[in-house]
Amino acid sequence: MQQKQEHKITPNVKVSDLTQYMICPRLVYFRAGGHKQSGIAKGKERSVIENILLKELAFDLHKIYARGEDEGGEGAETEEEDARRIMEEIEDGVERIYKEELEGLETDFFEVVKRDFICSMSVENAEWLRKVRTGNGLLELEEAHGYEREHTMVSEKLSMSGSVDKLIRTGEEIIPCVIKTGKCPEYGVWKSDRMQLAAYAMLIEEEFETTVKRGFVEYIRNAEFRESRIKKRDKALALQILKRVKRIKGGVFPEKGENAPCDKCSFVELCETRKTLLSKLFAK
Ligand code: SF4
C-alpha cells in the first residue's frame, strides 16, 4: 500500500509582521510583495546607529548590573570607566551583526556616532547607569538564570514563527523579553508591545507545553524594565492581527494605518502609485 505523504505547511507569518501591521498594514503588503525598505532614510542615520548600539547594550546589561554589585571591591573602577569599557566591548561586533541594516553608511560617520554614543552613555547618563545598577526584577532574573538570545520558534498550527529577543528559563516558568529602543510609556507597556509579548507567549506555550504568565519589555533608552502579565485580550488581539496579516499576504491591499509614519517611509511612492491605479480603476 502506498504510504500517505505528509506535507508540512511552512509558517509564513512572523511575529515581526504583526508588529509592522500595528505601525501600518501596508508595510506588510509591500514587504510581502518583495519590496525592501531601501536603506536608511535621509536624516535618520544617527538614530538608526544609536538604536542598534542601544539594542546590543541591552544584551550586555547584566555585565553592568553585575559590576555594579561588586562596586567598592578591590580594583573597582569609576562608573564612567566601567560603562565605557562595556560599550567598547559591544561595539566591536556591531558592524558584523547588523551588516544589512548599516549598508551604505560611511565608516567614518559610523565611528563618530559610536564615539559620541559611548561618551553620552558613560559620562552624561549617570541616572541611566544608576537605574541599571540598582537592579530590578528582570536583571535579577537574568543574573540568576541567564537568557537565550533570539530563540526562534515555529508553530505550524498558527502558521507563525518568531525570534524573541531574550528567553529566560527559571525552571518553573519561561519568560519572553523584548527590547525596545523607542519611547517608554509613563506607566506599563505600549499596546503593540503587549500584543508582541502575547504572540511570543503563544509560540512558547506550543513549543514548551507550558503556560506563559508574564513577559518583560526593556525600554533600554530609559533603563525602564517593565513586567507585563500576558492577558487574554492581548492574545486575542495577536490572533486577530495574525488573521489580517494572512489576508494581506494573500494579496488583499489594506487601508493605511491610523498613525502611519508616511513622512519617513520609503514605500511612499509605491503607496501613491497604488492609490492612483485604484482610483483610475473605480473611475471607469
Ligand atoms: S507610505 Fe504611509 S501608508 Fe504607505 S506603507 Fe508607508 S507608512 Fe504605510
Model confidence at 181, in pLDDT bands (50, 70, 90)?
A: very high
Q: Is the CB of 83 under 6 A from ligand 1?
A: no
**Sign for the pseudo-dihedral over CA of 121, 126, 128, 129:** positive
pLDDT band at 1 (very low <50, low <70, confident <90, very high): very low
Residue nearest to atom 3 of ligand 1 (CA): 256
For residue 66, how far is its CA from the centre of ligand 1 (angstroms)?
43
At residue 66, does pLDDT exceed 70? Answer: no
Distance 30 CA to ligand 1 centre (A): 9
Q: Is the CB of 262 under 6 A from ligand 1?
A: yes
Nearest-10 Cα torsion for 113, 117, 123, 124: 100
Q: Which residues of 61-73 are buried (b: 16+ CB within 10 A; e: fewer)?
A: bbbbbebbeeeee
Q: Computed from CA positions of residues 205, 209, 211, 217, in that sequence, does the dihedral angle turn out positive or negative?
A: negative
Q: What is the CA angle 54-59-61, rounded to 5?
A: 85
Average of per-residue pLDDT across 221-237: 95
Q: Which residue has the higher pLDDT, 195 or 82?
A: 195
Structural domains in the chain, sorted by start: 13-34+145-248 (3.90.320.10), 45-135 (no CATH)
Query: Mean pLDDT, the chain, as a whole number?
Result: 83
- Cβ–ligand 1 distance for 27 under 6 Å, the answer yes
Above pLDDT 90, what percent of the chain? 45
Say whether pLDDT at 40 is over 80: no
Pocket test for ligand 1, best of 37, 258, 265 (most atoms within 8 A of CB): 265
110: amino acid identity, one letter: F
Which segment, 73-77, 118-122, 143-147, 270-274, is predicted with the most confidence on average? 143-147
H or E segment to which residue 256 belongs: none
d(CA 56, CA 212): 26
